[in-house]
Amino acid sequence: MSKVLKLKCVKCGREYDPAQVLYTCPECGIEGILDVVLDYDQIKKELTRDYLKKNTDYSLWRYLPAIPLEDTKGIQPLQAGWTPLYNIKTLSKETGLESFFLKDDSRNPTASLKDRASAVGVAKAYELGRFVMCTASTGNAASSLSGFAASAGIKTYIFVPETAPEAKVTQLLIYGSNVFLVKGTYDEAVELCFKAADEFGWYNRSCAINPYLLEGKKTVAYEICEQLRFQAPDIAVVAVGDGCSIGGVWKGFKECFTLGLIDKFPKIVGVQAEKSNPVTRAFEKNTYEFEYRVPETIADSISVGIPRNGIKALNAVHESGGYMVDVSDEEILTAMKILAQKTGVFGEPAGVTSFAGIIKMNELGLLKGDEKVVSIVSGSGLKDIKSAMKAAGKANLVEPNLTEVRKIINN
């Protein structure tokens, strides 16, 4: 029996049979993102603490009972998920916390959290018999789709802004995707990709319209719960661009609670770059209307003018009793350096934005010191060397003898 009861529109609440609708609510159009409503009574019978304790699949597929696939033939060997959760004790000065937890999702095959979504998206495409996929992306969703599609023999068409970091574009090309560098913003790349998908009949991976992608992202929360020995954190901090990641994180924690794996929810805190912050502005005005401003941030993965999944993002924050905070580009670069130098975890700008958020929360007096706080590092620093170099400083250039080395050492 299918685990999916229905698809429910987050805007108008109308419900659909999954066989009826592929992407968004036919009544609301592009804003009517659907939520996959699962049969938890059925899932609960299988997905228990005991089941997980005995499970030797160290990937996101250990949560397969909660992932809405009708068959498993599209599951690839490439390992997404089961990334480390570190207990960090070296940053109490910066965070005001005795210790906190770092979920290092840069440790996925293409080096970002997006791999969780792509693993499920590709498996879904297989199930539907759709072997040409597309996406628009600030970079990571695309490189991730490219990698997973390559492993599955699926053809891909990718639309990224021409300003996407070189490493991410290189990933697309080496995985063999057909790449369109769009002379415009991410928002324009999205429009173009959706039009092309319509015209050429491609299966669209964009998390902003495809309801199944979030079902992969939610597994990061399952892992956090399991790695904390089935205790919920008090606060989970997530960088927000389109809002799919934070929506997935919240759905994962809610499900862990519903399934009896944990006995309370964490607060979900969203972090945006201060000049790319439509979700924070909407949260502060207590509205679900997002006001467009040209986004400006070094954190390309969250450089978003119109949040495509803003409703789910705001729901995550409101329903969990959390809040939004903003950080500046300078704070992001500082956070990148501190994190690398005190933990050995090297994140890209958006990847360390949640950690920058924790430093900010401490400065604003929002942390108590003994709370269990988790920061999700969502992407690797090697994806954007130019930004990292701004934070890293310069190396010493020397002649190949000891004279200059001595001078520098003794200085």
Ligand X SMILES: *Cc1c(COP(=O)(O)O)cnc(C)c1O
Q: Least distance to ligand X from the beta carbon of 199, Å?
A: 25
Q: For residues 59 and 375, which CB has a smaller minimum distance to ligand X in the complex?
A: 375
Residue 9's binding partner among Zn ion, ligand X, none (Cβ under 5 to 8 angstroms by kind) is: Zn ion
Token digits for 27? 């009544």
- Name which of residues 293 to 332 contact ligand X (CB under 6 A): 301-302
Residue 25's binding partner among Zn ion, ligand X, none (Cβ under 5 to 8 angstroms by kind) is: Zn ion
Q: Least distance to Zn ion from the beta carbon of 9, Å?
A: 3
Residue 32's binding partner among ligand X, Zn ion, none (Cβ under 5 to 8 angstroms by kind) is: Zn ion
**Contact with Zn ion (CB under 5 A) among 3, 7, 32, 252:** 32
Among candidates 110, 107, 128, which has minimal Cα distance to 119? 110
Is 10 a residue that touches Zn ion (CB under 5 A)?
Answer: no
**Contact with ligand X (CB under 6 A) among 94, 223, 242, 255:** 242
**Contacts with ligand X, 61-90, as mask; x by CB under 6 A:** ------------------------------
Q: In what order do the strands lie in the sheet with 4-9?
A: 15-16, 4-9, 34-38
Q: Least distance to Zn ion from the beta carbon of 31, Å?
A: 8
Q: For residues 241 and 266, which CB has a smaller minimum distance to ligand X in the complex?
A: 241
Q: For residues 103 and 114, which CB has a smaller minimum distance to ligand X in the complex?
A: 114
Q: For residues 9 and 239, which CB has a smaller minimum distance to Zn ion in the complex?
A: 9
Which residue stretch of 122-130, 154-162, 239-247, 334-342 sits at the interface with ligand X (rule: CB under 6 A)? 239-247
**Contact with ligand X (CB under 6 A) among 121, 241, 266, 357:** 241
Q: For residues 15 and 371, which CB has a smaller minimum distance to Zn ion in the complex?
A: 15
- Name which of residues 101 to 140 contact ligand X (CB under 6 A): 112, 114, 140
Residues that bind ligand X (CB under 6 A): 112, 114, 140, 239-246, 301-302, 348, 350-351, 378-379
